[in-house]
Amino acid sequence: MATAQLEKTAGQKYVWATRGDINAFFGLMLDNIGDMILMASLLVLLFKLPADFVLTRMIPGTAVGVLVGDLIFTAMAFQLARKTGRSDVTAMPLGLDTPSTFGAVFLIIGPAFSNASKTLPPDQAARHAWYIAIAMLLASGIFKVISAFFSGWIRRVVPRAGLLGSLTAIALVIISFLPLLEIVSQPVAGLSALAVILITLTARWDLPRRIPGALAAVLIGCAIYYLMNVVGLGPGFGGEGGKPSWSLRFFLPLPINDWFAWFQLNWREAFGYLPVALPLALATIIGGIDCTESAAAAGDDYPTGPIIGVEGFATIVGGLFGGVIQSTPYIGHPAYKAMGARAGYTLATALFIGAAGIFGYFDWIFYLLPKAVVFPILIFVGLEITSQSFHATERRHFPAVTLACVPALAYLAVIMLKQVLPGDLDIKGLNPASQHTVQTIIMLSGGFIVTSLIWGTMLAHLIDGKIRAAVISLILAGALAWFGVIHSPLPSSPILPPAQVLAQVAQEGRSKASHGQTPYHWAAAYWVAAAVIALLGKYGTVPTRERAEEPQAI
């Protein structure tokens, strides 16, 4: 049927905008706006960055990354239409990567600002954290551009279960759970908006006149939220950061010269965040490959390398203008094509998001849209990532995906502990047993994205009977633990030789709590586990695929 449709449309003039582009625009635009609101809200509310700094420094460049990426994807749709002679080509959607939004906020910008705030005023600490985020965004973009030439090899080397397992961990623990706290803080409006999202986007019901589910959720949630305020039952009008100015501004930071001067003095600290940034970039690369294959299956055969190259280029451009969140192709191409969208929706999204950041009307969106009403979209994203992770993984690798989620639970526990423990998780006032428990959670959470990737990869190799690959995974994990890339005993997770790490541990009074769990112990644990697996692999019997897929009795 798909082939017949393609033959039918071949040779016709490209119809680049249809009614379906309207629905697709609202879906793609609101997804990006939701990520921008999420980033700004978490940085301002949770980490206490100055709202004006976030809105005028971080948002414009982040929006420019979406502007550039979607404009190029729009042009690629026209090019594919000319090449194939088809009138029904749908542009690849591009936007802000939601896992990277959380990763940048909770693992890069937030911790960097908290550490810098100990010695610097808020504005200077915010600038320091901003420059670190720019460094990580530029590194991610360069990594993606280079990887565009090796996209096939990367996909073969990294097991899908390991990569998707780490994404599932972020999706369940961070993308789904943390926004849910904001939703239930205003349960009447929040749960109403969530109900609309679940019935339209998750359960896939159609609304009258095909109104986009995301738009309907925001409209209904806002109506309930502000009606409750009118009758005196709500928290008040307006959001964080104060009422914006009525006049539009044109402001696009170009901090690269000042950033480079800063980078020459602080490159060691910046590189300490690479273990967070690069796995997130790798995830978008694999995701981009999957998105390209998904588009091909729907009838739009885009070249994989250029798609990955464009997302890398858009990420770099965003970083040059002060952006902090990487751009990536979205998995929803078949859904947008089913809506009847062509290239109009990516063009409209590019212009709307870019202008929102550059001319400042995002300030009003951030001020007026209640977080409890917008965040249900992120619940849908978390559910989709989780379900797609299992759907795209072979059944026998389900345990590997599940195992990869476990380290993220420790990170969630750390987030909660930071709400009750003083300073940077100061454990001195706790009893010895509690100190050891908290310290264990800190070490398990350190570098959890990398840990999840390695654990899922290792188990997937074991299930496939690839003993050598599993052993190599554990040896690599031991090396990373040795230098604190994973399982650092310090909340800030610095990448240092073990002796320097232990010196800081002693200085912070964590020595007793870390007894038996130093970088030496974690490295040795992985290397001994590698030796055990190598020994068992030599004398054990690899299971057949049929046996590997059989459910095991408990």
116-154, pLDDT tens digit by residue? 998 999 999 999 999 999 999 999 999 999 999 887 677
In a domain, 5, yes or no: no
Within this chain, do residues 354 and 399 fall inside the same structural domain, yes or no?
A: no
In a domain, 549, yes or no: no
Within this chain, do residues 369 and 439 fall inside the same structural domain, yes or no?
A: no
pLDDT of residue 256: 92
Smallest Cα–Cα separation from 64: which of 155, 11, 162, 134?
A: 134
Residue where a domain stops, chosen among 391, 418, 434: 391
Residue where a domain stops, chosen among 391, 418, 443: 391
Within this chain, do residues 370 and 415 fall inside the same structural domain, yes or no?
A: no
Residue type, 138: L
Q: Measure the CA angle with vertex 373, ends 368 and 378; round to 5°.
A: 120
336 band by pLDDT with thresholds 50, 70 and 90: confident
What is the token pair recorded at 476?
A: 């690599």
Asked if 462 contacts 533 with a C-beta cutoff of 8 angstroms, the reply is yes
221 band by pLDDT with thresholds 50, 70 and 90: very high
The more confident residue out of 208 and 241 is: 208
Q: From the centroid of its chain, how far is CA 308?
A: 17
Burial of 469 (0-12, 13-18, 19+ CB in 10 A): middle
Within this chain, do residues 275 and 403 fall inside the same structural domain, yes or no?
A: no
The whole domain housing 316 covers 12-391
**Of the ranges 121-130, 202-211, 236-245, which is most confident?**
121-130
pLDDT of residue 7: 46
Residue 25's region, left for phi above 0, alpha for psi from -120 to 50, else beta, is alpha
Q: How many domains does the chain divide into? A: 2
Say if residue 474's pLDDT is above 80: yes
Within this chain, do residues 360 and 402 fall inside the same structural domain, yes or no?
A: no
Within this chain, do residues 290 and 426 fall inside the same structural domain, yes or no?
A: no
Residue where a domain stops, chosen among 391, 411, 446: 391
In a domain, 1, yes or no: no
- Sign for the pseudo-dihedral over CA of 252, 256, 262, 268: positive
In a domain, 244, yes or no: yes
Number of Cβ atoms within 10 Å of the Cβ of 162:
25
Within this chain, do residues 198 and 275 fall inside the same structural domain, yes or no?
A: yes
Within this chain, do residues 252 and 185 fall inside the same structural domain, yes or no?
A: yes
Average pLDDT over residues 461-490: 92
Within this chain, do residues 315 and 430 fall inside the same structural domain, yes or no?
A: no
Within this chain, do residues 21 and 149 fall inside the same structural domain, yes or no?
A: yes
Residue type, 51: A
Within this chain, do residues 301 and 155 fall inside the same structural domain, yes or no?
A: yes
In a domain, 550, yes or no: no
Q: Measure the CA angle with vertex 496, ends 49 and 477; round to 5°.
A: 100
324 band by pLDDT with thresholds 50, 70 and 90: very high
In a domain, 81, yes or no: yes
Burial of 514 (0-12, 13-18, 19+ CB in 10 A): buried
Q: Average pLDDT, whole number, for the chain?
A: 86
Average pLDDT over residues 243-252: 76
Within this chain, do residues 158 and 221 fall inside the same structural domain, yes or no?
A: yes
pLDDT tens-place string over residues 34-53: 889 889 988 998 889 999 99
pLDDT of residue 343: 95
The more confident residue out of 435 and 72 is: 72
pTM for this predicted structure: 0.76
In a domain, 2, yes or no: no
- Find the Cα–Cα–Cα–Cα dihedral 342, 346, 348, 349, rounded to 10°: 150
In a domain, 101, yes or no: yes
pLDDT tens-place string over residues 489-544: 887 777 778 888 888 888 877 877 777 788 999 999 999 999 999 999 888 777 66
Say if residue 459's pLDDT is above 90: yes
- Find the Cα–Cα–Cα–Cα dihedral 115, 121, 122, 126, rounded to 10°: -60
Return d(Cα 124, Cα 283) in angstroms, integer.
32
